[in-house]
Structure 1
Amino acid sequence: MSSDRPTATAPGVLTAPGRRPLSGLLAVLLLACAVLLGTGSVTPARAADATPATKATGASIAEALKTSPVYVDPAFAAAVTPAQQQQLAEQIAATGLPVKVVLVPLQKGDAFDGRAKAMAAVVQERLGQSPLIMITSDDYGSWLNGYEWPADNAHQARDAANAVALIKELKDAGLAAKIGRAIELIGTGKGTEVYKAEADRVDREHAARAQTEDHADSPSASSSATGPFAIVAVLVLALVIGSALLVRSRRKPRHTAFTFPDAVFAADRAADEAGLRRQAADEVLALGTALDGADGATTPGLSRALDAYDAAGRVLDRADGLPDLAGVLALAAEGRAALAAEPRLPLCFFDPRHGTAARRTTWRPLGRRDRVDVAVCTDCGQALKARRSPQVLAVRDHGRTVPYFEVPAERSLWAATGYGSLLSGPDDTLAARVGSGEFSRAATRRQAADHKD
């Protein structure tokens, strides 16, 4: 009998050498779930189960949209003036399409729980209108979102809104101008075409910039201007703008294996941490229940599943934000995969909350020449195939919103492993890395970096 095989210590208590009894931790998790349940569900509100307050707010917006296709909350009045609203309404009328514009500031705890998607769904329901095209502010008010009913993408509303964020000449344009361009793209049916063209342009510019910087860093490039006049010129230039260069060098974007335009961060940036924490606790609880009923003699992966269960409990105890809680989901999935008779893929690389991956695919990030092999869910796989940006788990790092995999690997176990997609082999597991202290060390480095900032 293997020394790693669990032994029965009491009825219903399954343990292994050096491990705490499962039932004890199950009790703790049950208590945690009970406490969390008291906070109430805070998942994105669907139109069908929106709260009365949400419906009332959605109803007021819908009522206003019956007299004008452009609804602008007073908070956006300076960005889109009444005259500009009238111009947009006339532009919409000229398209002959059922386009509505809704600009509402969103924040956690409001009627829509800070979700542009929830707001759009409620307003559409209150309007009772389909077909319908809606342009809204996003969760943080920085970009535009495009929605369409029925969800057949006939007018490419989503791509039109995403394209606006990439068009170079609109970089410093006002919000009204950006909305006007989105309406134009929807009216001409060129949203996807322009989005792909702009994404290709960004790709080429990033690749050219990376190649230039690689050349500039090479020894041959650094030895070109060696004449005395060149040296004097460099010294004078350094004296004049040295401090400015120092500031810019500190702000220089970090180049990693993954780079994304900011426009792709529209997916769940206001995701609810309390809700995910409860889901993570439920997943660990479910894994523990499965382990209680497992037989070591017929379950070759039981030891690995126990490791994953133990690691998931540790990470849940120390979880600091969405990335760590998503890591708990990935560890629980790793444990379930170890118990399964057939191999299973890890959770979706781009966002573990999407669930178990449907397949693996190669992916080349914007601005990079190298490709990586990642596990993707069905939606993300379809987005990549259509040359759209997949929805990614976005995090805050050094004051910027970036995909989780843009965080330096030494500060994030999840960036280093892609939540399981980037592991090197069968013996390289998330649980093993947590067990070796990699999660704790990364958390310490991240906290030190945050404190330094």
Structure 2
Amino acid sequence: MSALRRPSPGALPRLLTGLLLAALVLLVGAGALPQPAHAAGTGLDTVAEALKKSPVYVDPRVRDQLPDADRNALAEKIRNADKPVFVAVLPDAPEFPRATLLRDLRTKVGITGVYAVHIGANGFNAGADRQVLPHNAASNLKLAAQHSHTGDTKGMVTEFAQQAATQAHGEAPSSWNDGAGGGSATGLLIGGAVVVAGGVGGYALLRRARKQRQERERAELDALRVVVDEDITAFGEELDRLDFNPSEPGATDAMRTDYTSALDAYDLAKTRMAEARRPEDVRPVTEALEDGRFALATLAARRTGAPLPERRLPCFFDPRHGPSTADVQWAPPGGAPRPVPACAADATRVADGLEPMSRTVQTPGGPQPYWDAGPAYSPWAGGYFGGGGVLTAMVAGTVLGSVLSAPSAYADSPSFFNGPEGGSESGADFNAADFAGGFGDGGGFDGGGFDGGGGDW
């Protein structure tokens, strides 16, 4: 009996090609390949089907408000951000009743995400599933875009989409990668390829997801690095200004210990930041800086004979201000007042009815307070304030608050409010209250806006 021969190295690729070509011939012979599309409809079903395949839809009747080149550019930005942000630009027509439009569109698309609709001359509304973007954040982004770009459809939807993409959680829906056409024949062809190729497709998806996560973490760490370097530099300048010599007359062992602790904290912060590879690695850096600032405050008290300071949290408004001296009442826009620790200067400003000197960081939309700058600042703040319930209570109602309320923010597990992750299919199972509000023509909440109280949503 002759020995079995091992297939040549090129046999499998040739076999795969042959099988695919055979399937293609059969599909063509059966007339199953997709035919040229007919003119697109303009109803809500058409809009929903289009958004399942691409992040931006513009009704042909209002194409002049967002021309094809601008539409494609915005869609590309959203795809590159890999976030579930949907934008529709529609005419003021009977098939798009404003009272139920946003909610019905979310129902028909059936994917968790952020939804924005521009209608008519200047009507604009937006909503988001809570696990993707906090209620207040969606409302505030909507109003900011309205106020900044009244009468400018392109500017309004572009600013909203870009800002939403920087703050939204989850990933772009997989259906955006399927292209705009294909029908059942494409499904058959893809099915045949999967059968032949085995697990190749699954491996490619895993690699893509891993690459996207690494790119996201790299971008977040780059943004954090700027902020943390500023913190380290500020602490180094405090050490330079310190007029203390361990051998000076009157120096005690306790003073020298405080001074050494501050120097060690500075060196540790620099070392940990140099070693950081993920956003979570920033937390030990800010922990070290906080320890160092308390050591300096203790040293200052020993040198002047003042009572030793109580170990308190740093100033909430800007940890570079050093340890807090009192708790003050503060509330984010639209949120409830809550006590937060403040340094002496900020406590005085708040008592006088002035705005505290809050720490702002750069975002694609310009400077923002760190508590509204995105999920990357969770470990940064956690190092200063310890994370957990204390910090969560202080930033409730902000972007950072939503992150801290969701332990899965940096994990590949179900998202914040025990619902489907952003970009996944949920059908009609969503909280309609998240899409409550009205179309503001020229700004405002149109009778109550997102938080209820008017607006027939």
Question: TM-score under structure 1 normalisation?
Answer: 0.29
The one of the two structures with greater contact order (alpha-carbon pairs below 8 A, sep at least 6) is: 2
Question: TM-score under structure 2 normalisation?
Answer: 0.29
Which structure is larger by alpha-carbon Rg, 1 or 2? 2
